[in-house]
Amino acid sequence: MTLSWPELVRTAAEDTTSALEKGADQNWRGKAGDLDWSCRETLSHIALGVVGYAGLLIARPTDRYITLFSSIDGHAPVPAALEGIRIAGALLAGTVRDTPPEVRAWHPYGHSDAAGFAAMGVLELVVHGRDIAQAVGVDYTPSDALAAPVVERLFPDAPTGHSPADTLLWCTGRSTLPGLPRRGAWRWDGRVRQA
């Protein structure tokens, strides 16, 4: 069964936070994966992005980012901080569900529709969730069910013949693929394409 975009966002938020709860007692002040941000800073980045995508769909700017910024309380215990990620996911999922298909909003990686912003949100949740998981000693890889629609929607030139999760991690510069070195620079393409 294929999940709708709102269901994909909710599932990504739930899967990621459930995995990260297993490392809640670890040091979250250290760097997340290969990022320059700490795990706590990365968590705030996820919240900023996911809530921001909902805001873009609501405000529908054509040339700028919105003025609403969200973050996770840096002093909150990790389980409470993860609650903020679930909230962000629910806000984006509801906004995606309620946004008409013809709506477009600005993003620096291409004006996008609700499906595009949902895909961006899923990417932020699962890829940065994995970055944090690596740092806190939790085994977490996004599911193929979450990765496949994101790769299809945001990376139209992605290589084929690999699992969707492996492909997503390669597309976002997190890993290698057979015959393909790790990407040093990357970005998605959020523009709406005709089927």
In this predicted model, what pLDDT tens digit does every residue of 105-158 receive, in sequence order? Answer: 999 999 999 999 999 999 999 999 999 999 999 999 999 999 999 999 999 999
Q: Where exactly are the structural domains of the chain? A: 7-171
Angle between helices 114-135 and 78-98 (to 10 degrees): 160
Stretch 74-84: mean pLDDT, rounded?
Answer: 95
Helix (H) or strand (E) holding 71: none
Q: Which DSSP string do the residues of 113-147 spell out, in sequence order?
A: -HHHHHHHHHHHHHHHHHHHHHHTT------HHHH
How distant is the alpha carbon of residue 104 from its chain centre? 19
∠ Cα 53 187 183 (to 5°):
140
Alpha-carbon span 50 to 56, nearest angstrom: 10
Alpha-carbon span 34 to 133, nearest angstrom: 12
Angle between helices 114-135 and 5-21 (to 10 degrees): 10
Stretch 159-188: mean pLDDT, rounded?
Answer: 96
For residue 101, what pLDDT band results from cuts at 50, 70 and 90? very high
Specify the pLDDT at position 89. Answer: 98
pLDDT, tens digit, 9 for 90 and up, residues 6-16: 999 999 999 99
Are 37 and 45 in contact by the 8 Å Cβ rule? The answer is yes
Structural tokens at position 149: 């629609």
Specify the pLDDT at position 183. Answer: 95
For residue 40, what pLDDT band results from cuts at 50, 70 and 90? very high
Q: Which CATH architecture has domain 7-171?
A: Up-down Bundle (1.20)
Q: Please say if the pLDDT value at position 1 is more than 80.
A: no
pLDDT, tens digit, 9 for 90 and up, residues 43-55: 999 999 999 999 9
Nearest alpha-carbon partner for 52 in 106, 15, 99, 3: 106
